[in-house]
Every structure is written in C-alpha cells, then in structure tokens.
Amino acid sequence: MIDWAELRHAYGSAEDVPEHLAALRSQDEDERREAFGELYASITHQGNRYSATAAAVPPLLELIADPKTQDRDLLLHLLGLIAVGDDAAWLPGPVDRARLDPDEAKAYDAVGAGLPVLYALTTDPELADSAAYVIGWYPGRPESVPVLAAVDSPTAVVALGLLGERPPTDERPLMRWAGAVARRDPGELLPWASSDHDIEPTIPYLRGDIAGLALLSLTGEPALDAALARLRHVSAEPALTTIGVALREVFPHGSIPTGTPYGDLTEPQQRVVRALAETPEAWLYDGAEYVNVSLLVSDYGLPHGRARLTAYAARRS
C-alpha cells in the first residue's frame, strides 16, 4: 500500500495523485483531460521527477494495458516524460543513467519494468509510435530490437538507433531522415540540419523538430556551418537547439571566464557571437524575449541578453 501523503510532487504532498489516476478512467472527457493535466504538471513538472513519480508508474501501466482505457496515447506521452524528462537533455544519444538523480533513476527504472506492456502496444497502429518512443530509451534490452524493427515508422527507426542499431536506408523521405539520424550519417544529415523544415507533429523527438535532431546528430565544422545557416530562420525551441549546437562546437570546454574580451575569442567563437547578435528572431518566443536563450548564452560566460551581446560584439578588443 502506497502512502501517497508521504510522497512529494512539484506542489508538495502527493496525496491528490490517486484521485487523478482514478479520474483517467472517467467516461467524461473533460474530467480525464483535467486529471491528465494535473498529473502532467505535478509529477513531471518542467521535466522534473519526484518521489511520487515512480509510484505513479504501475497504475499508469495498468491503464495503458487496458484496451478500454481512453486517451492511451496521452498516457504513453506522460510515461515518456516520466522516463526521460525533456528528451533534449539526452538527444542524440541514449540516457546516461549515471547522470540521473535518485528520483529520476527510480522513475526511469519503473517505466523500464513495464516494457513488456509497451511491446504489446506496438501492434496497435494508433499507439505503436508512442510505445516505440519509450522503448527506445532502454538500451541493453535485445528483445526490444525485433519489436521495433517490426514497426514501420520513422519513430521506431530513431528508437533503433538509440539502441545502437543501424537500420538500412529507406527512400521514403521521413524514413530516410530517421535512418540518417540512427546511423549518424553526416552526408544525409546535413541537408536536413541546415533546413527550415516545419515541425513534424507525428515525430515525438524534440517535439517534432526533425531538422533540430539532424543538427544535434552532427559534430565538428559541418555542425557549426549547419547551425549558423539554420539560425537565420528559427526561433523559440528550435532556435534554442540550434544555438546550443553552435555554442557546443566553438566552446568545447564549456564556459569562458566572465569578462573575457571579445578580441580574445577565437575566430569561430567570434563568428558565433556575431551571428547571435545579428539574428534577433532567434531570441524570441511568440514575439517576446525567450529567456532560455539568454540563459544558455550566459552559461558559456557570454553576456546575458541580445542587447548586451550585441554591445559586446561591437567592442573589438
């Protein structure tokens, strides 16, 4: 018997979690959606996991396994968040379990214990992709490979890549993209990575930012060139991914000392700073300043905010 009052989520005691879990069986759609929203906001708040998160997994798996449960695709989405949080923290690679804190590790393991439930769902066309997405985050499970290989979708191909498999080329465009990501094929990835391809709502990775995942899968000069090319036509979360790659490539050792003169930067570092200063749209989310971009830039020891960075770039020494 779980003592939910002793467990915690983002807003304190988790004693409300059982009623939300029970409401997921309601015949009333509004009631189910409200319960899902409460769980989403509390046990996976902003990608975080808590002591209550792992405890919620067995009842969620029971719901997901029951064909009479409605909105199972949403519950699988929640299960993916429980397992890995924001997948941008891990892509293009698999989860590094050693980096998980205790609550994250318990949540990750709890979902992993339910993989047999997910295997069965890969034969359901409406649930196969959502199940494949979660399965792919668990390497070292050889039984997952034939299950994923039987799913004819880009999501399953990327999931195979996360398990270390190298699927063959498929000429269908999104399957070709997925195969390139799985194989880390720079020649195939480069056109995708520098493109302004729209978000693909059917792809769960990076919320459908397939060009962003292609970019994350590149390294070295091709990654930098593609990131700077893409920077001119992205904003919001795609811009955050793009800027992260550019900074990663030119600051391989992480943050520089605060106050480092612009003139002391290397030429590639100056190139990235200039590009950031010259692309105002990349700093925006729905027309407002996207603070996560400023925070990312300042994490590397650069000035916080585009105005400060622009002034910094104007000082040549």
For 35-64, write each residue's pLDDT tens digit.
999 999 999 999 999 999 999 999 999 999
Average pLDDT, whole number, for the chain?
96
Residue 276 has pLDDT above 80, yes or no: yes
Average pLDDT over residues 184-210: 94
The pLDDT of residue 315 is: 82
Residue 33 has pLDDT above 60, yes or no: yes
| Helix H or strand E segment including 210 | helix 210-216
Percent of the chain with pLDDT over 90: 96
Between CA 244 and CA 94 the distance in angstroms is 18
Q: What share of the chain is helix, strand, coil (3-state, %, to 5)?
A: 60, 5, 35
Residue 317 has pLDDT above 70, yes or no: no
For 210-236, write each residue's pLDDT tens digit.
999 999 999 999 999 999 999 999 999
The pLDDT of residue 174 is: 96
| 118, two tokens | 């997910």
The pLDDT of residue 195 is: 87
| 111, two tokens | 């979902």
The pLDDT of residue 292 is: 96
Q: Which residues pair with 9 in a beta bridge?
A: 12
The pLDDT of residue 93 is: 94
The pLDDT of residue 222 is: 96
Average pLDDT over residues 78-97: 96
Please indicate, yes or no, whether the overall pTM of this predicted structure exceeds 0.85: yes
Between CA 259 and CA 256 the distance in angstroms is 9
The pLDDT of residue 190 is: 95
Residue 316 has pLDDT above 80, yes or no: no
Average pLDDT over residues 100-123: 98
The pLDDT of residue 307 is: 96
Categorize the per-residue pLDDT at 263 as very low, low, confident or very high, splitting at 50, 70 and 90.
Answer: very high
Categorize the per-residue pLDDT at 196 as very low, low, confident or very high, splitting at 50, 70 and 90.
Answer: confident
Look up residue 44 and give its DSSP letter. Answer: S
Q: Which residues pair with 267 in a beta bridge?
A: none
* Ranges of each domain in the chain: 1-85, 219-317
- Is the Cβ–Cβ distance between 214 and 182 less than 8 Å? no
Helix crossing, 236-250 with 291-299: angle to 10°? 10
